[in-house]
Structure 1
Amino acid sequence: MQDFNRLTPPPGGRPAVGPNRREWLRWGGLSSLGLSLPMLLQQRAAANSGDRTNGKAKHCIVLFLLGGAPQQSTFDPKPDAPAEVRGAYGPIATAVPGVHFAELLPQLAKQMDKLAVLRAVATNDNAHSSSGYYMLTGVPHAPMNVENANPGPPNDWPTMGAVVRRLRGDSGGLPASVRLPMHIFNTDSSVWPGQDAGFLGRNSDPWLFRCEPAAPEFRIPEFTLQTDVPLHRLTQRRELLQRLDRQIAGQSESTAGQFSPLMAQAFDLLSSPQARAAFDLNREPVALRDRYGRSQFGQSCLLARRLIEAGVSLVHVNWFRGPDEPSDAPCWDSHANETARLKSALAPPLDQGMSALLDDLHQRGLLDETLVVCLTEFGRTPRFNGRGGRDHWGHVFSVAMAGGGVRGGQVIGASDKQGAYPSQGRVAPQDITASMLHALGYPAHTEIHDSQGRPLAVSKGQVIRNLFN
């Protein structure tokens, strides 16, 4: 998994290609050049267009609600169920007659005409790591229901961002796929599988920027030149590194050609005002930043919009897991005190950030060409537990989609009266990945190749045809 804040791979990950930072420091004391950045950059992924569909989406923004959002208190309220099932929050009408959301999502309810809600999604997996892997890749974890699983074979299928990066390649100094504001991990700090390029190799890893977009002095250090490095000195250092690269290539055939593209991309990025500007949230009006909400999630949604405007194909926004999260119920993992946490910490940032994103994209004329997908790894149990929370439930939950050719104002599938199991229109994760790729212009049979060169279809799912116009 690629991470601009780490030089070593996560447990179970693949070793980084090329020399480490200590070796670079030995080679001429060049640490002032910021060589950790080019060491972590990727070569341009080979474009494999396959048989293109008529997909409308040029970009995709994935919003991942880490922890498992309760379907009953978000997109699939159950007002007629017993109190221990329906919870404290009742339904509210949406912009589409007959469709209701939970009352904690009033702004998203007004956007229902743009949304398609899948209410019968199921993984049948109740573990964060393995169910999350299934949702992020469209391939079930082997075995299922395994918690604290780490990346690595046999669970080495690439995440959607990696597939898109391989199919489209990079352009304009920025990668085709970006993750922010941090990676996904469990309470024991184990990193989930399904977040990197897997068997596609490090060249296709989505870039990971660990950051806090809501911080008052938010910036991405990797995109900021030191004050003592004017552009003409940067050019001189680029020429020096080119000479060094040629010397390294002459000494070892195994390293030949590995560093020049990475260094060129790093210098292009550092010297490009357009690339650096994409991450500058201070360029946005204060009122618009307030509209998104000053939460990490809200500002991450705004940053995602700026990145797709800058040419990034897929931006994956994870729910921010801050240091103040309760250990027994972090993020959306509401094992305890769910009623209070939904109202104070969870639903308002989701409602404000996602609704602002849809509004903003629509007003800018970008929604038709930008697919927005709100995912989670699973839902929550129909009944509350003894701690006032709900536990893991992969048997049915909801996913919301908008833009990119999706026909808004519709609900696809249904759960039963207690929100426990699909009653009609069951959807599996591979159907969601197939539909996302379809929107982006790639049929499910488009080929990618594993590390041994074997051709594999990008998805084994079926496109959800009712989703699209």
Structure 2
Amino acid sequence: MFLLGGPPQQETWDPKPESAAEYRGDLGVIRTATPGLIIGETMVRTARWTSHIAVLRACQTYDNAHSSSGYYMTTGRPHIPKQVENVKPGAPNDWPCLGAVVRQVFPKRSALPSAITLPEQAANDGNLTWPGQDAGFLGRAFDPWLVTGDPSAGRFEIEGLELPAEVPWERFDRRRRLLEALAEQERDPHRQQAFALLASPAARRALDLSQEPRKLRERYGLTRFGQSCLLARRFVEAGVPLVRVNWTRVPGAPNNGHWDTHTQNSRSVKTLMPILDAAYSALLEDLDARGLLQDTLVVWMAEFGRTPKINGSAGRDHWGQVFSVALAGGGIRGGIIYGASDKIAAYAKDNPVTPEDLHATIYHCLNIPLDTHIRDLQGRPLLACTGRPIRAILS
């Protein structure tokens, strides 16, 4: 779960109730299922699930730009240079995202790709897409499959996943066999994937949220983000190894509806957190009820956090010096707080965590060997991951 904009650590996983008002803000805290762990007062449902969650309170990129810090968090490689906004993909910042590496390492288990992103790419205002969300130098064949749309808006359909009304299945099958005979399908991985998806009832079922009980859909929240999380659970059940759900803008909310809370930080948190709290806790609860949580890693992350001090617009600005990430489920020891920030959540005090180490931990939980190599455009072998797993949180 990638939370575009960067939720404030002070109002979520790392509140500082003993600090001065200009640092702690005006929201309170609540106790959780984990003794000694307090979190922001708006995370009511999440508080019940902390026995499954490890909180990393000292993550850092030292990059305060959405685009370049987001690149670092999604690839595990720092952007060159840091502190650059609205950057585009391309050398030297063309490292593949985690989903692309998964697509290369894991053979397909079904007609669905082994990495999927939904319901849109992360982008700055103006639809300026961040780098680090595609396959980079691995090539387009390894891009995560991007599923766009609004799963909360009535019947959810993926363009091109159904045959046109004038093309019956028999005619489609004849076309497919003709292409196979011409050996064209093997030369085009995108066409091969398209055929597999069109011909797969299982793939279409995974996208059919109407099969879910209304009460469960409401538990996730009838929002674009909430229903995307439910769709992610369906993809996991269908055998997709990695699904990324990006936060989507909430109409009518402050700061364009994302977590970039430059103004009205408290109002933003009160507006956005009920959506996130419902979807995140429902996903954990749903996976647990289905016996999937012990084998499914759920990651709550963003590109950075927010400044320790409230600004003149009652907001918090960009802050990559310290922020929180939460991991739950497969391979993680729950009920743990790892690392600490200082008394105003400004800098790491104990056990800082870099994106390299976060990626190494995710690789470990995915059973991807840390000595896995990928090849660049010149054919040179490169370590896919250069960090070290956080052993203290691994089961």
Length-normalised TM-score, structure 1: 0.82
For residues 288-333 of structure 1, the C-alpha deviation after alignment (integer angstroms, 9 at most, x for no partner) is: 101111111111110000001111110000001367565x554000
CA contact (8 A) 1:379 1:394 kept: yes
Instruction: Give 1:408's aligned residue.
Output: 334
Structure 1 distance, partners of 2:349, 2:154, is 47
CA contact (8 A) 2:253 2:268 kept: no
For residues 41-92 of structure 1, the C-alpha deviation after alignment (integer angstroms, 9 at most, x for no partner) is: xxxxxxxxxxxxxxxxxxxxxx000001100011111111111111121110
Given the alignment, which residue of 257, 265, 268 partners 2:193?
Answer: 265
Structure 2 distance, partners of 1:324, 1:205, is 33
Partner letter of residue 210 of structure 2? Answer: N
CA contact (8 A) 2:374 2:383 kept: yes
CA contact (8 A) 1:175 1:312 kept: yes
Alignment pair present for 1:360 and 2:298: no
Given the alignment, which residue of 259, 262, 268 partners 1:341?
Answer: 268
Partner letter of residue 264 of structure 2? Answer: N
Alpha carbon RMSD of aligned pairs, Å? 1.6
SS at match of 1:178: strand
The aligned length equals: 395
Alignment pair present for 1:176 and 2:114: yes
Instruction: Give 2:241's aligned residue.
Output: 313
Alignment pair present for 1:116 and 2:49: no
Instruction: Give 1:464's aligned residue.
Output: 390
Instruction: Give 1:97's aligned residue.
Output: 35
CA contact (8 A) 1:151 1:191 kept: no
Instruction: Give 1:10's aligned residue.
Output: none
From the superposition, tell whether residues 325 and 129 of structure 1 become closer, same or farther in structure 2 (CA, over 3 Å): farther
Alignment pair present for 1:332 and 2:259: yes
Structure 1 distance, partners of 2:126, 2:244, is 23
Q: Percent identity?
A: 53
Given the alignment, which residue of 309, 329, 339 partners 1:383?
Answer: 309
- The higher radius of gyration belongs to 1
For residues 430-465 of structure 1, the C-alpha deviation after alignment (integer angstroms, 9 at most, x for no partner) is: 000000001111232211111111111111111100
Structure 2 distance, partners of 1:401, 1:171, is 25
CA contact (8 A) 1:120 1:426 kept: yes
Given the alignment, which residue of 136, 139, 162 partners 2:100?
Answer: 162
Structure 2 distance, partners of 1:415, 1:263, is 49
Structure 1 distance, partners of 2:367, 2:195, is 32
Structure 1 distance, partners of 2:192, 2:349, is 54
Structure 2 distance, partners of 1:204, 1:322, is 30
Instruction: Give 1:220's aligned residue.
Output: 158
SS at match of 1:265: helix
Structure 1 distance, partners of 2:220, 2:97, is 27
Instruction: Give 2:135's aligned residue.
Output: 197
CA contact (8 A) 1:176 1:314 kept: yes
Matches within 5 A, 1:224-303: 224-242=162-180, 245-246=182-183, 257-259=186-188, 261-303=189-231
Judge which range, 203-212 or 118-127, deviates more: 203-212
Structure 2 distance, partners of 1:263, 1:339, is 48
Partner letter of residue 90 of structure 1? Answer: G
Matches within 5 A, 1:11-26: none
Matches within 5 A, 1:419-458: 419-458=345-384
Structure 2: 5+ residue runs without aligned partners? none
SS at match of 1:266: helix
From the superposition, tell whether residues 383 and 199 of structure 1 become closer, same or farther in structure 2 (CA, over 3 Å): same
For residues 100-146 of structure 1, the C-alpha deviation after alignment (integer angstroms, 9 at most, x for no partner) is: 11011011010000000000000010000010000001111100000
Structure 1 distance, partners of 2:25, 2:252, is 25
Structure 1 distance, partners of 2:42, 2:167, is 49
Structure 2 distance, partners of 1:197, 1:236, is 33
CA contact (8 A) 1:329 1:335 kept: no
